[in-house]
Structure 1
Amino acid sequence: MRKNKINRNSVCPKCTSGKKYKHCCGHHSKQHISPTQAQVQTHYDRHLANELRRQQQQGRGRPMLSAKLNGQQIVAVGNTVFSSDSWKTPADFLGSYIKSAFARDGRDWGTEELKKPFAERHPILQWYQSLCELQQKTLDASKEIQEYAATNAVTCYLGLAYNLYLLQHNVELQDIYIKRLKDIHNFQGTYYELMVAGCLIRAGFKLELEDETNNEFKHCEFSAISLTTGKKYWVEAKARSVAGVLGKSVNGTISKDPTSSLSKQINAAFKKPAADERLIFVDVNTPIENGVMPAWIERANKKLEQMESDTPDDKKAYVFVTNMGFHWHPEEQKVSHAAIAFGFHIPDFSKAGHYRLSEIYRMKKKHIDAHEIMDAIKEYPALPNTFDGQLPSIAYDREEAPPIIGERYGFDDGKGGVMEATVTTAIVSEPEKRMYIGLDNGQMLTREMSDRLVQDYQRHPDTFFGVILEQGKRFEEDDDYGFFEQMVKNHMDYERDNLLNRMKGWPNQDALKALPHEELVMLYCEGLVARIKEMREERQKNISTPPAHLSDKQ
């Protein structure tokens, strides 16, 4: 498959005239003709898909500004331009960027730390050495671009680099942050604060930093304004100090209860003045328990509930309790960090109870900022795969790129020739590692997919073919709300009469007709989910009921 120039004797693919291209849109006298509405829509659809994919990779902050010029990869960070001929991927750039960030004061701090025995080095340089050793073990010098499974030490190192980049690119990287990171006594708190800042930027918040050099009055770490709702929040980030972890040789707790400092840290956060709503982040800093529900979550919820009942109602905050404990397992891979969200004196957020699906939908919509923050925490560190948000298969290996819906290509016609056709639809079968491509001539083609291409699809199923497609959505069988939310999204643009026609067998027709459109959609989708649950239960009943055996006498 290849993208061809349009054959001038072919039927014009740009309009519906039926004429040859050379006598239609390809004629020199028609080159000035404005694009058709369909062409404009196609380009717009591709733009939306590209932007969605970029946001999935880079978050909702300022786009990564980069370009390739004369063999140099150029990246603009805030008002500073960096370049190198050795950067092939964003990870390459981040590895260089963090070194430049720590050299801002003119000191070669990293080299000084590397001279120390490994156990005495700053954690950042321990992580750096782990990265170097992993690259030496796994990378093939003959290949320009390779993928490897990162250890948690690498996640810590590149995650910190990305957070520093996000801060400088979207707000400002104050020198005080670098100074505090280098200071082993202040490192842990600053490291977590930057992690929180990075998550907020990715979640779509504009940060406003405080003057960290002014110690005359107390203030929160920074403020954050949601791009979704426009609300302003004051942010406080606290991490539990543990003796012997992240350089805490003194002033670290020896308690084995990860929630031992939770109440103290939240109370300290409330003592900071805040003119608007609060976001409080507390990290329990404990080893990660893979594959099980962490025991600290239940204890944290109980403590938060008790604190809430013991404090005045005017102390309100969205509280996020996290365990970003990658550093506890530096040489392991794929450990699962965890987080919970709690509405402190916010009665309709995160409170246990029995709710209709439509009620959950309304509550999520009301508290969408907190939900978007939780999504960013779950995805951490979410390093971008490419500089411009493209699929790696397109950015790094165009021969392997998937077809773009709406584009015209030359396909093998099976007879040694080339068949020109426009891709109208495409789907992927992951088990088969194949894609099925529908063409405007009615034919369906199939194409094998490499492991790399399958990975691209798994990362971006909804934009894999260049436009946004509602495919690749996966729900657990009992995820009724996830399915409901997707159904609401799919049906929100339905014509009202169409919905009412589908619900004509429902009771109280006059009441249905009086409902606002969104309420009608939610009610209809609740009915869909209820029907699916009935079918699921019936199927399970049939599976669990042993077949009846007829006797010979019958």
Structure 2
Amino acid sequence: MRRLQQQGLGRPILSAEVAGTRFVIVGKRRYHSTKWLTFHDFLRDYLLGSLGPDWSNAEQAKPLEDRHQILRWYAQAAADAKALANPNGVTSGPMTGAIQAFLNLACNIYLIAYHGDGQDMADIYLRRLRSTRDDDFIGALFETYAAAAFLKAGFTLTYEETKPQTTSCVEFVATWPASGEKFSVEVKSRVQAAEGRVVVEPVDEVRRLRIGARLAKALKKAAAHARFVMIEINVPDQLKAAGTLDGWPAAALKQVRENEDAKGPDGERLPPAYVFVTNHAFHNDLAGLGGNIQALAVGFRMPDFGPDVRYPGYAGVMAARDKHAPMTALIESMKTHYEIPATFDGELPSVFSKGSDAVRLKFGERYLIPDVDGAEHAGRFYNASVKPDTGEVHGAYELEDGRHVIASNTLDAEELAEYQRYPDTFFGEVLKPGGECDTLVEFWDFLFETYQHTPRGKLLELMANASDIEHLRTLEQRDLAITYAERIGNAFHAKADADADAKGKELPAAGDAAAAGSHATDRG
């Protein structure tokens, strides 16, 4: 599970170490080195080699300011990494924008070449990436980001550019394996001026982002399947908080909505499309730390997809998720699988500093647990809670005599950082960490996860006092679980609103909540 969380839902990294030499398979090609301790080491050499050793060496021989953008990234990334190297020879620390830019491009090309028949497309991208023209380079760069996002989410891709074409075509067709649904994907990017040029940006967000113009241009291309448009705005903006519609996301959403009545050359309204607006701000802050992807997902002429949609209760939320399941999966993957794995096999990065023999808590393993008298007993570790701010772990252990005990220990700084990045799989198996629900939808999700496997008869029993019990008896188990989760959530929030000034907030009794009824909501 940790491998999936780190590497995504596509093909796992195919690699092995033999007699001190690391081998990595990419499509039909095999690479090897005695110097690749981490996956990042491999990616560095892979990208430079894929661009062409002669080209890469020639660029590195130039003065820094005259080198191609990729080699400027590499030079700055190498300098930044050197400052972070530890005594074991492993670089460990937060990535600068330069490190992220270089490694992300390397990983994108690797993913494209590794999946399906992607090597031909990877070669096309590499040729375009070597261009000194900003529009060629930026266009190819963010097309690789789009392809990598789909691949990590488990889609299969067919690249239109590798086929003979008589008309303008989209970048690629993405197929969702679970249903076979296909999407014609077009990518548009804002071309930021080359480094060193002075650019005066207009304050007007319409002129700066130009979402409507880019969207219209993308939708004029021929497409055989449901349309998907990814627009990279390529601006230095940093968002204040995740999940909020402030700054450029609010402006981008407004521009999408204002163009829904726009017409094409034939006088007809432009076709519906999924629109993902992205911003890789670290490309504009190469020395900065902690940059990440920013994204807005919205449906163009799709009234039930987007952050501004108000659903008629939890059933409406779930219906929209089911209808747009491939896009929901893509969004979740972009949240989960964005970070580039450091290891080849899904191990946590601390294996490099602590060694493979270091004691690490893993579910199912046995550890010696001291009792109140200091005597130690072997116990199987099976559950845990972690305080994410301090790293204090309260572990549940089953002793050999059948007793269940709680024992505490504290994660060190490196382990705590890894837990914060991989809380679900830190202990080797899936553990959903507890936490607060910030929205009503999150609370509904929590309740549905709790009751989704409850037998149908038990759910009807829990809602026996509901005024519409006769209607409830006609529903299938999943619909009953959705209804029950919604009604408990609604009742809780109604009580919380009524008791906003009280010190404590109690969850209503299940019977009261179940009888509370369902209603439309615009919360969360």
Name the TM-score, length of structure 2 as normaliser: 0.85
Q: CA deviation at 1:490?
A: 2.5
Distance 1:411 1:68, change over 3 A: farther
Q: Distance in 2 between matches of 1:416 and 1:377?
A: 48
Q: 1:123 aligns with which of 47, 69, 81?
A: 69
DSSP-derived class of the 2:501 partner? helix
Distance 1:499 1:538, change over 3 A: same
Distance 1:63 1:380, change over 3 A: closer
Q: 1:136 aligns with which of 75, 78, 82?
A: 82
Q: Distance in 1 between matches of 2:278 and 2:434?
A: 27
Residue 278 of structure 1 pairs with residue 227 of structure 2: yes
* 1:108 matched residue in structure 2: 54
Q: Distance in 2 between matches of 1:297 and 1:427?
A: 35
Q: Distance in 2 between matches of 1:506 and 1:254?
A: 59
Q: 1:371-520 alignment to 2 at 5 Å?
A: 371-378=328-335, 381-393=338-350, 397-411=355-369, 419-441=377-399, 442=403, 443-470=405-432, 472-477=433-438, 479-520=439-480
Q: CA deviation at 1:77?
A: 1.2
Q: CA deviation at 1:212?
A: 4.4
DSSP-derived class of the 2:275 partner? strand
Moved more, 411-420 or 264-273: 411-420
Q: Which amino acid aligns with 1:69?
A: V
DSSP-derived class of the 2:179 partner? coil
Q: CA deviation at 1:327?
A: 1.3
Q: 1:215-254 alignment to 2 at 5 Å?
A: 216-244=166-194
CA deviations on 1:256-294 (whole Å, 9 max, x unpaired) are 555433333222222221111111111122221341655
Q: Distance in 1 between matches of 2:163 and 2:462?
A: 63
Q: CA deviation at 1:114?
A: 2.2
Q: Which amino acid aligns with 1:366?
A: K
Q: Percent sequence identity over matched residues?
A: 28
Q: 1:189 aligns with which of 139, 154, 158?
A: 139
Q: Which amino acid aligns with 2:343?
A: T
Q: Which amino acid aligns with 1:90?
A: F
* 1:147 matched residue in structure 2: 92
CA deviations on 1:144-196 (whole Å, 9 max, x unpaired) are 43421111111111000000010011132332211100002211100010011
2:81 and 2:91 in contact (8 A); partners too? no
Q: CA deviation at 1:391?
A: 2.9
Q: Distance in 1 between matches of 2:274 and 2:160?
A: 20
Q: Distance in 2 between matches of 1:314 and 1:386?
A: 45
Please, which runs of 5 or more residues in structure 1 have no aligned partner? 1-51, 545-554
2:161 and 2:169 in contact (8 A); partners too? no
CA deviations on 1:11-51 (whole Å, 9 max, x unpaired) are xxxxxxxxxxxxxxxxxxxxxxxxxxxxxxxxxxxxxxxxx
Q: Distance in 2 between matches of 1:130 and 1:475?
A: 40
DSSP-derived class of the 1:520 partner? helix
* 2:113 matched residue in structure 1: 168
* 1:91 matched residue in structure 2: 40
Q: Which amino acid aligns with 2:289?
A: Q
Q: Which amino acid aligns with 1:515?
A: L
Q: Distance in 2 between matches of 1:162 and 1:370?
A: 22
Q: CA deviation at 1:473?
A: 4.2
2:160 and 2:171 in contact (8 A); partners too? yes
Name the TM-score, length of structure 1 as normaliser: 0.80
Residue 344 of structure 1 pairs with residue 296 of structure 2: no
DSSP-derived class of the 1:139 partner? coil
Residue 364 of structure 1 pairs with residue 321 of structure 2: yes
Q: CA deviation at 1:534?
A: 3.6
DSSP-derived class of the 1:425 partner? strand
Moved more, 188-197 or 383-392: 383-392
Q: Distance in 2 between matches of 1:444 and 1:322?
A: 45
Q: CA deviation at 1:63?
A: 0.7
1:243 and 1:253 in contact (8 A); partners too? no
* 2:516 matched residue in structure 1: none
Moved more, 387-396 or 55-64: 387-396
Q: Distance in 2 between matches of 1:428 and 1:465?
A: 11
DSSP-derived class of the 2:183 partner? strand
1:400 and 1:453 in contact (8 A); partners too? no
Q: 1:15-54 alignment to 2 at 5 Å?
A: 52-54=1-3
Q: Distance in 2 between matches of 1:401 and 1:361?
A: 42
Q: Which amino acid aligns with 1:436?
A: H
* 1:75 matched residue in structure 2: 24
Q: 2:290 aligns with which of 324, 334, 338?
A: 334
Distance 1:258 1:85, change over 3 A: farther
Q: Which amino acid aligns with 2:74?
A: Y
Distance 1:294 1:212, change over 3 A: farther
CA deviations on 1:179-222 (whole Å, 9 max, x unpaired) are 10000221110001001111111112101112348564321111
Q: Distance in 2 between matches of 1:223 and 1:238?
A: 15
Q: CA deviation at 1:394?
A: 5.5
Q: CA deviation at 1:53?
A: 1.8
Distance 1:230 1:254, change over 3 A: same
Residue 299 of structure 1 pairs with residue 251 of structure 2: yes
Q: CA deviation at 1:500?
A: 2.0
2:155 and 2:177 in contact (8 A); partners too? yes
Q: CA deviation at 1:507?
A: 2.0
RMSD: 2.8
Residue 179 of structure 1 pairs with residue 127 of structure 2: yes
Q: CA deviation at 1:512?
A: 1.7
Q: Which amino acid aligns with 2:299?
A: G
Q: Which amino acid aligns with 2:377?
A: M
Q: CA deviation at 1:516?
A: 1.5
Residue 200 of structure 1 pairs with residue 135 of structure 2: no
Q: Distance in 1 between matches of 2:337 and 2:419?
A: 20
Q: Distance in 1 between matches of 2:38 and 2:489?
A: 43
Q: Which amino acid aligns with 2:486?
A: E
Q: Distance in 2 between matches of 1:334 and 1:368?
A: 30
Q: Distance in 1 between matches of 2:500 and 2:203?
A: 44
Q: CA deviation at 1:499?
A: 1.6
Distance 1:257 1:125, change over 3 A: farther
Q: Distance in 1 between matches of 2:305 and 2:483?
A: 22
2:262 and 2:270 in contact (8 A); partners too? no
Q: Distance in 2 between matches of 1:205 and 1:456?
A: 28
Q: 2:274 aligns with which of 304, 309, 318?
A: 318
CA deviations on 1:495-532 (whole Å, 9 max, x unpaired) are 12222222223222222222121111111111221233
DSSP-derived class of the 2:161 partner? coil
Q: Distance in 2 between matches of 1:143 and 1:530?
A: 54
Q: CA deviation at 1:126?
A: 1.1
Q: Distance in 2 between matches of 1:254 and 1:394?
A: 46
Distance 1:447 1:534, change over 3 A: same
Q: Which amino acid aligns with 2:151?
A: I
Q: Distance in 1 between matches of 2:336 and 2:186?
A: 21
Please, which runs of 5 or more residues in structure 2 have no aligned partner? 505-524
